[in-house]
C-alpha cells in the first residue's frame, strides 16, 4: 500500500470555511445582476418613462379639451341653419320611408321565401340532370346512351308541385306545378327582380344621403380642429397606449429614426404646447404642420432635416448626437433651418426658412462670394464657362461631321464603289448634314446665351477703373482705413491694414485709374432734387440719413456723406445713366466692361442735375489730409502685391488685376468639412473645454471677429489672417452660420433633394434675379414682404399710400408673358417718350430700366408665370366679340354714375391723368389676361390688399354677377353676366371708344 | 367640475335677470355677454366726469381751399368756396375736431358697447370730419350725394376695406374690432375727402364741436391720463384724479406754433 500522504493542514479548501467569500461573491454577483437588469430595463430605456408621462399628460389634456369641443359642437348644432339641414335630412328620409319599407317588405316576405322554396327544388333537379348527363358522356354503349337521354328528358319534363309565397310580399301563397325549364326561368326572374328592387332602394335613399352630407359638411366647416367624437377616440387610444419603441424606417436608404419614442406628441392631431403638456417641451407638436405635410416623416424621417443620432435611445445626449463620436449633432434651435439647405441647395429663397434665406441673401449681398467660391453664387460665370466649353465641343463635332461628309462623298463618287455601297455613303452624308443643321441650331442658342452671360457676369463691388474721374483723391485712404466709420453699414468690410499698406493700395488704385473727362453741367435745384430723390425710387435701394433719421433701403449705399467723396459732373452722369463709362475704362480686348447693378431711372439731365445738386450737399465738415504719396510709382508697386494679397479684385474691377482668382477657401461644403480642418489655432483646447469646439462655434467666432484665431500667434502683417471684418450683427451671424452649417456634402440620395426640372425650377432661378436686382426693395412678391417704401414716413400719409409701387403677388396671372417681356426690356414702353412709366404714369416712383439680357428677361417672365401657375407657353383666351347691343350696354355701364371707372383710370387727357390712380384701359388687351381681369373686378382686395379699387362692385345672383348699383334702364331684360360683359368690352377697347367715353363723361 | 361650470352659467343668467329687471323701462336689454366675461358697471352714485374745452392760440392759419374743378359733379353741389376742415378755429377761439379721450387708467375693465358712429358723405365732404366709436361697435356710412363714392378706411391694426357706395345705396355698416386712434378714411374717387375715426376700447371719449368744448361723463373714480389729439397739431396729455362724483374741468391749448 502506498503510504498515505500527510494531511495538508494548509489547504484552505479543506481547512477553512469558504462561506464568507462565497457569500460575498454571490452577493456581488446578485447585485450586479440586479443592476444589469435595472440598467437594461430602466436606465438604458429612458423613453419608457417619457412615453408613460406622455400618455398621462396627453389624456389629461384631451379630457380638458373635450367639454370645450362639445360646447362648440353643441352651439353649432343649435344654430338655425343646422336645424334646418337636419330637418331636411329627416324630411327626405321620411319621404322615402313608405316606399322603402314597402320594398323591404316585398323582399323579406315575398322574394326571400319564394326563392328559398324554388332554389332547393331547382338545385336538386339540376344535380340529378347533371349526374345523368355525365354518365351519358362517359358511357360507351349506344343503348345505354339512349336510355340515359330518355331519363334526362324525363327529368326535365317531370312536374314538381310547390307551395310558393307570392312575390308581392303580401304573405299569400300559391301552388304551382312546374317542370325544370319553368323552375330555371323562375330563378332568373327572381334574381332580376331582386336587383331591380335593390337599386330602387338606393335611389330612394339618395336625397336623404345628400342632405346628410350637407349636414356633415356644415358642421365640419364651422368646427375648428377635431370633433368631440374624434377627441374621445384619442382618449381611448391613450387608455390603450402601449409603451414601445416608435421608429420610422426609410427603406430606400435604410435609415432609422426613433425620435418619436420620446417626442411622442410630434404628429398628434391636437396641437400640443409646452403649457398644455405640463411644461414638458419634449411633448409639443411639430411647430409647422405645413412643413410636415410637404415632408411626410414617413418618407423623410426626422434626422435628415434635424441631424442627431436617430437610432440612439439610451439618453438625450446620445439621441441628439451631442457627443464626441457623432459627426452630425442636432442643429441648435436658432440654426434649425440649416437642415433645409442640404436638399434645397439650389435655392436663394426657400419658403418657411426665413433665417436661412437671410443667410443666403447676406452671402450674396455682402459679397462673400467675391473671395469664397460657393456653388450657385457666381452662376453666370460658371454657366458662361460651361457654355464656352460646349460651343468649342459642338464646333469640333460639326467640323468632324463635315470632314466625314467629304470622305463619304469621295467614296460614293469613286468608280470602284458598287452602286449599293455608293447609295449607303450618300445616305450617311445626308444624315450627317442633317445632324449639322441641328448642331447649327444649338450653336445659335449657345452663342446667344454666351452673349447674354458675358453681359451678366459681374463683380460684387464697383469698378475702380474710373476712380480718377469719380473720386476725390484724398478720400480713398480714409475709406480704406475704415469704411464703416465713413459709412456705417456699408458692404465694404474693414481690412486689417497698416498705415503704409493703406497708402500703397491707394496709390496702386489711383495710378491704375483711367484719365477721362466729364461733360460739364450747370448746377441744379437741390430742393427739387431732394423731392425727386425721395420719390422717384432711389430710396428703394439707397438710404440716406443716419440713426433715427435714416430712411430708405439697405441694398445699396447710404448716401449721407456722398458729397465728400465724389464730384458733381460725375454724379450727374451716373444718375443720368449708370451704364455710361469713360471710353478708356470700357472694354479692352477680350474683356468686357461689367455692367453696374444700378438701373437707369430714365431721368432727364435736368432731373439728374437737381438730384446731383442735392446729393453733393450731403456731407460733413470732415477734412482730408493731402495724399501726395498716391502719385508715387514705387508705392503703387507695393500696392499691387497688397491688392493681390487682400483679394481686392474679388469684388472690384481693377486695371491689371482682371484675371485674379478668388483668395478665400471654397465654402460650398464647409458644413461637412472635418472639424480638424477648421483652424481653431491656439483655441482648440479652450474651445473644447468651453463647449464651442464645433462647426457652429467656429463659424460664429470667425464671423464675429475674423482675426480672432490670430490671437496669441506671432505673425508678420503679411502672414496674418486676411478676412476683413464686416461688423455683422448677432442676427446676421446666426443667419450666415445657419447657411454654412447647411452647406454640406449630403448623404441623402438625389430623390430627397429638391432639384425640380419643371416650372418650380423657373421659380428657383427667378428668385436669384429678384435678390440680385433687389426687386423687393420696391415690390411685394410674397405676402409679408416689406419694401423700403413701406417704412418711409411720407408713404404713411393717406395721400401717398397709392403712390407705392405695385404689388406683384399675382403678376404672372395678371399680365401676358409677351407684354411682360417688352415691359421688362423697356418699362417706358416707348422708344422716344422715355421719361415716364409705361403703364402707371401717375406714380412718382419710376420703374427703372435694368440692363437685362434676353436670358434674364425670360427668366423673370417665367418666374412670375410659374408663381401664378400659368401654363407655358400662354395661349390667348378667345373672347366672344361684342354685339352692337352689348357694346351700348357696356358703354352705358362704364360711364354710369354708379360705376365711375374713368374717374380713377387714366384716359390720356393730361388734366385728368394728373389725378389718376389706375392704368389706361387702352392697354388692357395687350397687357392683361381676361380671367385675371374678371377676378380683379370682382374682388380686387383679394389680389392687391389695400388697393384703391373698391371691392364688392358686383353681387352674385342666380348664377351670374350683377353690378351692385343703379343700372341704366337699358339693362332691363339683359340676362348676361355683367363682369363678363365689361371684360369683353375692355378687351375690345379702342382709342375712338375712349374719346367717345371721355366726351360723354364730361357732360 | 361640470357641475361647477353649469353653476357658473346659472349664476350669470340669474344675475342678468336681476340686472335686467332692475334697469327700469328706458334701459334696453343688453346683449347677453359670453359666460365668464363680465362688463364693468359704473356705479351712478359715484360716477365722476371730465369736461373742458380746447383752446387755440396764435394766428389762425389761412383756410385751405378745396379745388373740386376736377369733379364738376361735386363742384355743382356747392355755391360757396369749400375749405378743408383740417384746422377749424371757432369764433370763441377754440379748436374744432379735436379728439379727447381717456388714454389710460381704465385698463382691465371691459365696457358694454354702446357708442357707435355714423358718417355721411354730403357735397363730396365727409361729415363730420372727426368721429369716434367704441371698439366692437358699428360705423354706418351713408351717401347723401347724387354720385358714387368709395369709402376706404386705412387702418393699421383693424381689417382694411374699400367699398363703393352708389347714390341711394343703403348705408354701409361695418365693425371695427380693435382700438385705433385717428384712423384715416378716404375716397379714392375724390382724393380731397378725408375723415378720421377713432376706435376706442371704452366709451369715454368726445370730439370738440363748434364751441370747442368736450364732456366725458360717467367715469368711475380714479386717476386717468386724458389725451387731446388733433390731426395737424398732434397730441397733448393731462393727468386727472377723480374722487367720488367729482367733475373736473380740464382745458387744453393748441398753438399755431
What value of ipTM does the predicted structure carry?
0.80
pLDDT tens, residue by residue, B44-54: 889 999 999 99
Q: Please answer yes or no on whether A897 and B146 come within 8 Å at the CB atom.
A: yes
Sequence-distant (≥ 6) Cβ neighbours of residue A230 within 8 angstroms? A269
Q: Please answer yes or no on whether A903 and B169 come within 8 Å at the CB atom.
A: no
Q: For residues A858 and A865, what is the distance between their CA atoms, to the nearest angstrom?
A: 10
Three-state DSSP at B130 gives strand
In the predicted structure, residue A174 carries a pLDDT above the cut 50 = yes
Q: Please answer yes or no on whether B162 and A912 come within 8 Å at the CB atom.
A: no
User: CA-based angle A373:A379:A382, to the nearest 5?
Assistant: 75
Better pLDDT: A180 or A638: A638
At residue B11, the pLDDT reads: 43
Task: Find the CB nearest B162 among A912, A950, A964.
Answer: A950
Task: Find the CB nearest A966 among B150, B161, B166.
Answer: B166
pLDDT band at A873 (very low <50, low <70, confident <90, very high): confident
In the predicted structure, residue B241 carries a pLDDT above the cut 60 = yes
Assigned C-alpha cell, A649: 479684385
Tally of CB atoms within 10 A around A695: 22
Identify the closest residue of chain A to B192 by CA–CA distance: A799
Q: Is B154 on the interface with A (CB under 8 A)?
A: yes
Q: Please answer yes or no on whether B188 and A946 come within 8 Å at the CB atom.
A: no
Q: For residues B64 and B76, what is the distance between their CA atoms, to the nearest angstrom?
A: 19
In the predicted structure, residue B37 carries a pLDDT above the cut 70 = no
Residue count of chain B: 257
Q: Please answer yes or no on whether A903 and B71 come within 8 Å at the CB atom.
A: yes
Mean pLDDT, to the nearest integer, of A767-772?
96
At residue B33, the pLDDT reads: 45
In the predicted structure, residue A860 carries a pLDDT above the cut 90 = yes
Angle between helices A978-986 and A884-895 (to 10 degrees): 100
At residue B31, the pLDDT reads: 46
List the alpha helices (DSSP H) in A705-758. 730-742
pLDDT band at A25 (very low <50, low <70, confident <90, very high): very high
At residue A934, the pLDDT reads: 95
In chain B, what residues touch A899 (CB-CB under 8 Å)? 148
At residue A738, the pLDDT reads: 97
Please answer whether residues A323 and A688 qualify as being in contact, where contact means their C-beta atoms are separated by less than 8 angstroms: no
At residue B12, the pLDDT reads: 43
Q: For residues B185 and B139, what is the distance between their CA atoms, to the nearest angstrom?
A: 12
- Compute the Cα dihedral for A934, A902, A914, A990 and give only its sign: positive
Better pLDDT: A25 or A77: A25
Task: Find the CB nearest B169 among A899, A940, A965.
Answer: A965
Q: Please answer yes or no on whether B70 and A951 come within 8 Å at the CB atom.
A: no
Mean pLDDT, to the nearest integer, of B156-184?
93
Residue A873: asked if its preceding bond is cis (omega within 30°), the reply is yes
Distance from CA of A279 to the nearest CA of B (A): 23
Q: Please answer yes or no on whether B163 and A900 come within 8 Å at the CB atom.
A: no
Better pLDDT: B138 or B37: B138
Q: Is A965 on the interface with B (CB under 8 A)?
A: yes
At residue B231, the pLDDT reads: 93
Assigned C-alpha cell, A994: 375712349
Q: Is B169 on the interface with A (CB under 8 A)?
A: yes
In the predicted structure, residue A674 carries a pLDDT above the cut 60 = yes
pLDDT tens, residue by residue, A477-494: 999 999 999 999 999 999
Q: Is B43 on the interface with A (CB under 8 A)?
A: no
Smallest CA-to-CA distance from A805 within A774, A835, A830 is with A774
Count CA atoms closer than 13 A to B33's CA, side-chain side: 20
Please answer whether residues A310 and A330 qualify as being in contact, where contact means their C-beta atoms are separated by less than 8 angstroms: no
Mean pLDDT, to the nearest integer, of A254-278?
93
Q: Please answer yes or no on whether B166 and A964 come within 8 Å at the CB atom.
A: yes
Q: Please answer yes or no on whether B163 and A952 come within 8 Å at the CB atom.
A: yes
Sequence-distant (≥ 6) Cβ neighbours of residue A287 within 8 angstroms? none
pLDDT tens, residue by residue, A574-590: 999 998 887 776 655 44
pLDDT band at A591 (very low <50, low <70, confident <90, very high): low
Residue keyed to cell 377616440: A233
Smallest CA-to-CA distance from B143 within B159, B116, B163 is with B163
At residue A941, the pLDDT reads: 92
Instruction: Give whichever of A168-177, A192-201, A778-787 has the largest mean pLDDT.
Output: A778-787
In the predicted structure, residue B19 carries a pLDDT above the cut 70 = no
Please answer whether residues B155 and B183 qualify as being in contact, where contact means their C-beta atoms are separated by less than 8 angstroms: yes
Task: Give which of B71, B129, B191, B193 to mutate to test A binding, by max A Cβ within 10 Å.
Answer: B191
pLDDT band at A140 (very low <50, low <70, confident <90, very high): confident
At residue A969, the pLDDT reads: 87
Three-state DSSP at A865 gives helix
Q: In whole numbers, what is the pLDDT of chain A averaged over residues?
A: 91
pLDDT tens, residue by residue, A400-417: 999 999 999 999 999 999
Assigned C-alpha cell, A447: 452663342
Distance from CA of A951 to the nearest CA of B (A): 5
When mean pLDDT is compared across A219-233, A600-614, B126-140, B185-199, the lowest value belongs to: A219-233
When mean pLDDT is compared across A630-639, A895-904, A928-937, the lowest value belongs to: A895-904
Q: Please answer yes or no on whether A964 and B70 come within 8 Å at the CB atom.
A: no
Please answer whether residues A347 and A754 qualify as being in contact, where contact means their C-beta atoms are separated by less than 8 angstroms: yes
Q: Please answer yes or no on whether B152 and A802 come within 8 Å at the CB atom.
A: no
In the predicted structure, residue A12 carries a pLDDT above the cut 80 = no
pLDDT band at A8 (very low <50, low <70, confident <90, very high): low
Better pLDDT: B120 or A18: B120
At residue A815, the pLDDT reads: 96
Q: Please answer yes or no on whether B168 and A949 come within 8 Å at the CB atom.
A: no
Task: Give which of B166, B168, B190 to mutate to test A binding, by max A Cβ within 10 Å.
Answer: B166
Q: Is A917 on the interface with B (CB under 8 A)?
A: yes
In chain A, what residues touch B166 (CB-CB under 8 Å)? 897-898, 964-966
When mean pLDDT is compared across A87-96, A494-503, A656-665, A951-960, the lowest value belongs to: A87-96
Edge to edge, the sheet with strand B222-230 lists B205-207, B99-104, B222-230, B234-242
Q: For residues B103 and B205, what is the distance between their CA atoms, to the nearest angstrom?
A: 9
Identify the closest residue of chain B to A797 by CA–CA distance: B184
At residue A585, the pLDDT reads: 65
At residue B30, the pLDDT reads: 44
At residue A221, the pLDDT reads: 80
Identify the closest residue of chain A to B72 by CA–CA distance: A1002
In chain A, what residues touch B2 (CB-CB under 8 Å)? 67
Q: For residues B240 and B257, what is the distance between their CA atoms, to the nearest angstrom?
A: 26
Smallest CA-to-CA distance from A155 within A187, A174, A133 is with A133
Task: Find the CB nearest B148 among A802, A900, A948.
Answer: A900
Q: Is A385 on the interface with B (CB under 8 A)?
A: no
Better pLDDT: B138 or A44: B138
Mean pLDDT, to the nearest integer, of A854-874?
94
At residue A18, the pLDDT reads: 82
pLDDT tens, residue by residue, B96-152: 999 999 999 999 899 999 999 999 999 999 999 999 999 999 999 999 999 899 999
Amino acid at each position: 500500500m502506498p503510504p498515505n500522504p500527510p494531511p495538508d493542514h494548509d489547504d484552505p479548501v479543506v481547512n477553512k470555511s469558504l462561506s464568507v467569500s462565497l457569500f460575498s461573491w454571490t452577493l456581488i454577483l446578485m447585485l450586479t445582476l440586479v443592476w444589469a437588469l435595472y440598467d437594461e430595463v430602466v436606465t438604458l430605456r429612458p423613453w419608457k418613462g417619457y412615453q408613460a408621462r406622455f400618455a398621462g399628460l396627453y389624456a389629461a389634456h384631451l379630457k380638458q379639451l373635450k367639454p370645450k369641443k362639445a360646447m362648440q359642437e353643441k352651439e353649432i348644432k343649435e344654430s338655425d341653419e343646422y336645424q334646418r339641414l337636419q330637418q331636411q335630412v329627416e324630411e327626405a328620409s321620411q319621404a322615402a320611408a313608405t316606399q322603402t319599407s314597402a320594398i323591404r317588405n316585398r323582399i323579406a316576405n315575398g322574394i326571400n321565401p319564394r326563392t328559398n322554396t324554388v332554389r332547393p327544388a331547382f338545385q336538386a333537379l339540376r344535380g340529378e340532370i347533371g349526374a345523368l348527363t355525365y354518365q351519358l358522356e362517359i358511357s360507351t354503349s349506344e343503348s345505354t346512351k339512349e336510355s340515359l337521354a330518355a331519363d334526362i328528358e324525363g327529368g326535365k319534363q317531370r312536374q314538381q308541385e310547390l307551395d310558393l309565397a307570392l312575390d308581392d310580399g303580401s304573405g299569400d301563397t300559391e301552388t304551382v306545378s312546374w317542370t325544370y325549364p319553368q323552375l330555371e326561368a323562375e330563378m332568373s326572374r327572381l334574381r332580376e327582380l331582386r336587383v331591380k328592387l335593390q337599386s330602387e332602394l338606393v335611389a330612394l335613399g339618395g336625397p336623404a344621403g345628400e342632405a346628410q352630407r350637407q349636414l356633415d359638411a356644415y358642421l365640419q366647416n364651422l368646427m375648428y380642429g377635431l370633433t368631440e367624437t374624434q377627441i374621445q377616440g384619442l382618449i381611448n387610444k391613450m387608455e390603450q397606449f402601449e409603451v414601445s419603441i416608435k421608429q420610422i424606417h426609410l427603406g430606400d436608404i435604410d435609415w432609422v429614426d426613433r425620435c418619436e419614442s420620446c417626442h411622442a406628441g410630434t404628429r398628434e392631431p391636437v396641437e400640443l404646447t409646452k403649457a398644455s403638456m405640463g411644461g414638458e417641451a419634449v411633448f409639443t407638436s411639430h411647430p409647422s404642420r405645413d412643413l410636415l405635410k410637404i415632408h411626410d416623416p414617413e418618407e423623410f424621417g426626422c434626422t435628415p432635416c434635424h441631424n442627431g443620432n436617430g437610432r440612439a435611445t439610451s439618453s438625450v445626449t446620445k439621441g441628439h448626437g451631442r457627443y464626441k463620436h457623432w459627426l452630425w449633432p442636432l442643429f441648435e434651435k436658432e440654426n434649425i433651418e440649416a437642415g433645409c439647405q442640404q436638399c434645397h441647395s439650389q435655392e436663394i429663397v426657400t419658403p418657411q426658412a426665413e433665417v436661412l434665406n437671410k443667410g443666403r441673401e447676406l452671402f450674396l449681398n455682402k459679397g462673400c462670394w467675391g473671395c469664397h467660391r460657393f456653388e450657385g453664387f457666381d452662376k453666370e460665370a460658371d454657366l458662361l464657362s460651361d457654355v464656352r466649353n460646349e460651343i468649342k465641343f459642338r464646333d469640333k463635332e460639326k467640323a468632324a461631321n463635315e470632314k466625314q461628309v467629304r470622305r463619304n462623298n469621295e467614296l460614293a463618287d469613286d468608280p470602284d464603289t458598287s452602286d449599293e455601297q455608293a447609295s449607303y455613303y450618300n445616305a450617311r452624308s445626308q444624315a450627317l448634314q442633317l445632324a449639322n443643321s441641328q448642331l447649327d441650331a444649338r450653336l445659335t442658342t449657345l452663342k446667344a446665351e454666351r452673349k447674354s452671360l458675358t453681359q451678366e457676369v459681374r463683380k460684387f463691388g464697383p469698378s475702380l477703373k474710373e476712380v480718377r474721374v469719380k473720386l476725390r483723391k484724398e478720400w480713398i485712404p480714409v475709406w480704406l482705413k475704415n469704411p464703416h466709420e465713413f459709412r456705417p453699414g456699408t458692404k465694404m468690410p474693414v481690412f486689417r491694414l497698416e498705415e503704409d499698406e493703406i497708402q500703397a493700395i491707394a496709390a496702386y488704385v489711383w495710378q491704375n485709374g483711367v484719365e477721362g473727362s466729364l461733360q460739364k453741367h450747370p448746377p441744379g435745384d437741390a430742393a427739387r432734387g431732394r423731392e425727386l430723390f425721395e420719390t422717384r425710387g432711389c430710396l428703394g435701394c439707397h438710404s440716406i440719413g443716419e440713426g433715427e433719421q435714416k430712411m430708405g433701403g439697405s441694398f445699396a449705399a447710404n448716401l449721407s456723406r456722398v458729397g465728400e467723396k465724389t464730384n458733381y459732373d460725375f454724379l450727374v452722369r451716373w444718375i443720368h445713366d449708370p451704364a455710361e463709362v469713360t471710353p478708356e475704362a470700357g472694354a479692352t480686348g477680350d474683356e468686357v466692361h461689367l455692367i453696374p447693378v444700378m438701373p437707369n431711372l430714365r431721368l432727364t439731365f435736368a432731373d439728374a442735375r437737381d438730384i446731383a445738386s442735392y446729393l453733393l450737399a450731403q456731407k460733413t465738415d470732415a477734412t482730408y489730409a493731402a495724399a501726395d504719396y498716391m502719385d508715387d510709382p514705387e508705392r503703387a508697386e507695393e500696392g499691387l502685391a497688397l491688392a493681390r494679397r487682400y483679394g481686392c479684385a474679388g469684388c472690384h474691377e481693377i486695371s491689371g488685376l482682371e484675371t485674379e482668382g478668388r483668395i478665400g477657401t471654397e465654402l460650398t461644403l464647409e458644413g461637412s468639412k472635418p472639424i480638424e480642418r477648421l483652424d481653431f489655432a491656439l483655441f482648440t483646447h479652450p474651445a473644447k473645454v468651453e463647449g464651442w469646439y464645433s462647426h457652429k462655434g467656429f463659424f460664429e467666432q470667425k464671423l464675429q471677429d475674423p482675426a480672432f484665431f490670430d490671437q496669441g500667434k506671432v505673425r508678420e502683417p503679411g502672414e496674418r489672417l486676411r478676412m476683413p471684418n464686416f461688423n455683422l450683427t448677432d442676427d446676421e451671424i446666426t443667419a450666415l452660420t445657419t447657411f454654412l452649417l447647411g452647406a454640406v456634402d449630403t448623404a441623402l440620395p438625389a430623390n430627397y433633394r429638391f432639384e425640380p426640372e419643371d416650372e418650380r425650377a423657373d421659380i428657383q432661378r427667378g428668385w436669384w434675379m429678384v435678390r440680385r436686382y433687389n426687386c423687393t426693395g420696391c415690390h411685394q412678391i410674397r405676402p409679408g414682404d416689406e419694401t423700403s417704401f413701406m417704412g418711409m414716413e411720407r408713404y404713411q400719409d393717406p395721400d401717398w399710400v397709392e403712390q407705392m409701387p405695385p404689388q406683384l403677388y399675382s403678376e404672372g396671372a395678371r399680365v401676358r408673358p409677351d407684354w411682360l417681356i417688352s415691359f421688362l426690356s423697356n418699362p417706358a414702353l416707348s422708344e422716344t417718350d422715355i421719361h415716364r412709366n409705361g403703364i402707371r404714369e401717375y406714380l412718382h416712383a419710376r420703374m427703372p430700366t435694368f440692363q437685362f439680357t434676353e436670358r434674364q428677361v425670360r427668366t423673370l417672365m417665367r418666374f412670375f408665370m410659374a408663381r401664378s401657375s400659368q401654363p407655358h407657353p400662354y395661349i390667348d383666351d378667345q373672347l366672344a366679340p361684342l354685339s352692337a347691343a352689348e357694346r351700348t350696354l357696356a358703354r352705358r355701364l362704364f360711364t354710369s354714375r354708379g360705376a365711375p371707372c374713368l374717374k380713377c383710370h387714366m384716359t390720356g387727357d393730361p388734366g385728368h391723368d394728373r389725378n389718376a390712380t389706375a392704368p389706361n384701359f387702352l392697354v388692357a388687351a395687350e397687357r392683361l389676361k381676361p380671367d385675371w381681369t374678371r377676378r380683379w373686378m370682382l374682388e380686387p382686395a383679394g389680389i392687391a390688399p389695400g388697393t384703391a379699387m373698391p371691392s364688392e362692385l358686383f353681387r352674385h345672383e342666380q348664377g351670374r354677377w350683377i353690378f351692385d348699383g343703379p343700372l341704366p334702364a337699358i339693362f332691363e331684360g339683359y340676362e348676361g353676366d355683367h363682369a363678363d360683359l365689361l371684360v369683353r368690352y375692355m378687351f375690345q377697347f379702342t382709342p375712338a371708344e375712349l374719346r367717345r367715353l371721355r366726351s360723354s363723361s364730361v357732360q | 367640475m361640470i357641475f361647477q361650470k353649469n353653476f357658473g352659467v346659472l349664476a350669470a343668467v340669474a344675475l342678468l335677470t336681476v340686472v335686467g329687471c332692475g334697469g327700469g323701462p328706458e334701459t334696453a336689454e343688453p346683449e347677453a355677454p359670453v359666460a365668464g366675461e363680465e362688463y364693468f358697471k359704473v356705479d351712478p352714485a359715484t360716477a365722476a366726469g371730465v369736461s373742458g374745452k380746447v383752446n387755440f392760440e396764435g394766428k389762425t392759419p389761412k383756410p385751405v381751399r378745396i379745388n373740386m374743378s376736377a369733379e364738376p359733379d361735386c363742384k355743382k353741389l356747392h355755391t360757396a368756396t369749400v375749405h378743408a376742415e383740417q384746422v377749424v378755429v371757432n369764433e370763441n377761439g377754440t379748436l374744432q375736431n379735436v379728439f379727447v379721450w381717456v388714454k389710460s387708467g381704465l385698463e382691465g375693465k371691459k365696457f358694454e358697447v354702446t357708442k357707435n358712429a355714423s358718417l355721411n358723405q354730403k357735397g363730396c365732404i365727409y361729415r363730420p370730419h372727426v368721429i369716434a366709436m367704441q371698439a366692437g361697435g358699428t360705423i354706418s356710412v351713408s351717401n347723401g350725394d347724387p354720385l358714387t363714392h368709395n369709402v376706404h378706411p386705412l387702418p393699421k391694426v383693424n381689417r382694411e376695406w374699400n367699398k363703393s357706395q352708389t347714390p341711394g345705396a343703403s348705408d354701409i355698416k361695418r365693425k371695427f374690432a380693435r382700438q385705433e386712434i385717428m384712423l384715416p378714411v378716404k375716397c379714392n374717387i375724390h382724393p380731397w375727402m378725408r375723415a378720421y375715426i377713432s376706435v376706442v376700447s371704452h366709451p369715454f371719449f368726445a370730439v370738440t364741436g363748434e364751441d370747442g368744448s368736450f364732456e366725458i361723463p360717467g367715469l368711475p373714480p380714479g386717476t386717468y391720463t386724458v389725451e387731446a389729439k388733433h390731426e395737424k397739431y398732434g397730441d397733448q396729455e393731462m393727468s386727472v384724479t377723480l374722487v367720488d362724483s367729482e367733475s373736473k374741468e380740464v382745458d387744453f391749448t393748441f398753438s399755431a406754433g
